[in-house]
Amino acid sequence: MRIIARYITKEVIFSFLTITGILFLIVLCNRMAVYLAKAATGELPIRLVFNIVLLFTPELLSYLIPIGLFIAILFSYGRLYADSEMAVLASCGVGFKYIIQLTGTIAFVIMILTGILTLWVVPKVASYREEAISKGETGMLQALMPGRFQTLGEGRLVFYLEDIAPKKEDQKQKTDQPLKGIFIAERPTTVSPADHGWTLITAEEAEIKADPATENVYLVLKQGHRYQGFPGAADYTVVSFDEYGRGMPREIGGASQEAFRQKNSASLLFSKIPGDAAELQWRTSLPLSVFILALIAIPLSRVNPRRGRFAKFLPAVVIYIVYYNLFTVARRWVESGTIPSFLGAWWVHGLFFCVALWLIAKESGWFKRIRGYYGNPLWKS
């Protein structure tokens, strides 16, 4: 029996690692393409693209592990059924109950590992990512490219940099390097008489400075002019300056969502904020889905050899999509206060756990035995 358990475990784990690895590479390449596009438009320095993607790796794995194990069980057990190996194992005393116990053990171990990933590793990495952003390592000002017009501030601000002075030996950051030939154009938020019109700023030199107290980034321009007015109108103002400080945007990702992600799981447990409760339930939902999806995959992988190993793959995918979307919606409902936090996404997991039990009972013939027992004339008498 130990040899059979090792054989089945090897099949499941090998399929799980292969499928999860393929899905991870696909999602990683997609994420890489997004940040490479930002680097091509000057929104992000190319040297930081790989670092940012690396910091997203634990979070991506936490999303892919449940679906990876789900598909792995479908594929590995489906092959065993299609090749009649399960029939041979059944003749050797390996029944459906033993398959459930063995798969449940594998799923439980992976669920614990996923829980460690979502409850401890992902928040830590999110904190490191936010710390890197706050220090300006991934700020938009670090992506300034000479000789190219760049749009910042959701397209309201156009920035042009002629050149960057060569870095000296004692300069470690790009913020220490003087910028040459600055042009800034900012359009008004709305077109109304209350607006002061377009603002154009030109300067011979500039430096990037950060306020350590507020972590705001400023562009200090030197020896320049500031023009303000409406295009085509004669009433515009011109101001010359020796030094002028200008706040600059630093935009990467959703700040509110990122703030929840980097919170410690223990602090979320005792918080009464709906957003904290939703984040904690999301972190626990992913590990729980590993075990529940594994239970659902066991009966769905049981196929007729004549119909092929992929006969039930489509309904399995539909079940996964409905399950994942339901506890995603439940998270948003908790975050918005639509439903109480004690209900949260637990009703979704409870519902699909009952679906798993129903499928297992159906495939194991438990319903037929119940009908046969109550249909027995001896029982009726």
Give the percent of the chain with pLDDT over 90.
Answer: 26
So what's the pLDDT on residue 136?
Answer: 45
Q: 269, 288, 270, 300: which is closest to 330 by C-alpha?
A: 288
Range with top average pLDDT, 22-26, 29-33, 144-148, 206-210: 22-26
Average pLDDT over residues 318-332: 92
**Residue-wise pLDDT tens digits, 183-227:** 888 876 655 545 567 788 888 888 877 666 655 667 788 888 888
Q: Where exactly are the structural domains of the chain?
A: 2-135+255-378, 144-247
Strand runs (DSSP E) across the chain, as ranges? 149-152, 157-164, 179-186, 198-210, 217-229, 237-247
Backbone angles phi, psi at 92, to 5 degrees: -90, 5
pTM of the model: 0.70
User: Is the separation of the CB atoms in 76 and 17 below 8 Å?
Assistant: no
pLDDT confidence band for 351 (50 / 70 / 90)? very high
Average pLDDT, the chain: 79
**Between residues 1 and 329, the one the model is more confident about:** 329
Tokens of 186: 């900012």
Q: Which residues contact 101 (CB under 8 A, 6 or more apart)?
A: none
Whole-number Å distance between alpha carbons of 352 and 360: 12
Q: Compute how many other C-beta atoms are within 10 angstroms of the C-beta atom of residue 18.
A: 14
Place of tokens 């119940």: 370
**Between residues 127 and 25, the one the model is more confident about:** 25
Residue 308 DSSP code: -
**Residue-wise pLDDT tens digits, 147-156:** 777 776 656 7
Residue 140 reports pLDDT greater than 60: no
Residue 197, phi-psi category: left (phi > 0), alpha (psi -120 to 50), beta (remainder): left
Residue 291 reports pLDDT greater than 60: yes
Q: Which residues contact 165 (CB under 8 A, 6 or more apart)?
A: 177, 178, 179, 180
So what's the pLDDT on residue 255?
Answer: 42
**Residue-wise pLDDT tens digits, 32-55:** 888 787 777 656 667 677 877 888
Average pLDDT over residues 314-340: 90
So what's the pLDDT on residue 70?
Answer: 96
User: Is the separation of the CB atoms in 312 and 304 below 8 Å?
Assistant: no
- CA–CA distances in Å: residue 34 to residues 2, 94, 193, 259: 47, 48, 39, 22
Whole-number Å distance between alpha carbons of 363 and 117: 33
List the Cα angle 213/217/223 in 5-degree steps: 120
Residue positions counted in the chain: 381
- CA–CA distances in Å: residue 26 to residues 21, 130, 318: 9, 25, 21
Average pLDDT over residues 20-35: 90
Residue 295 reports pLDDT greater than 90: yes
**Between residues 39 and 361, the one the model is more confident about:** 361
Average pLDDT over residues 241-265: 64
Please report, to the nearest 10 degrees, the dihedral formed by the alpha carbons of residues 143, 144, 148, 152 taken in order: 80
Residue 375 reports pLDDT greater than 90: no
Average pLDDT over residues 232-254: 69
**Between residues 216 and 281, the one the model is more confident about:** 281
Q: 6, 46, 41, 55: which is closest to 258 by C-alpha?
A: 55
Residue 253 reports pLDDT greater than 50: no
**Between residues 250 and 252, the one the model is more confident about:** 250
Give the percent of the chain with pLDDT over 70.
Answer: 75
Whole-number Å distance between alpha carbons of 254 and 131: 15
Strand runs (DSSP E) across 122-252, as ranges? 149-152, 157-164, 179-186, 198-210, 217-229, 237-247
Q: Which of 307-341 are b and which e, b meaning 16 or more Cβ less than 10 Å from the residue's Cβ? A: eebebbbeebeebbeebbebbeebbebbbeeeeeb
So what's the pLDDT on residue 326?
Answer: 93
So what's the pLDDT on residue 379?
Answer: 47
So what's the pLDDT on residue 343?
Answer: 86
**Between residues 370 and 80, the one the model is more confident about:** 80
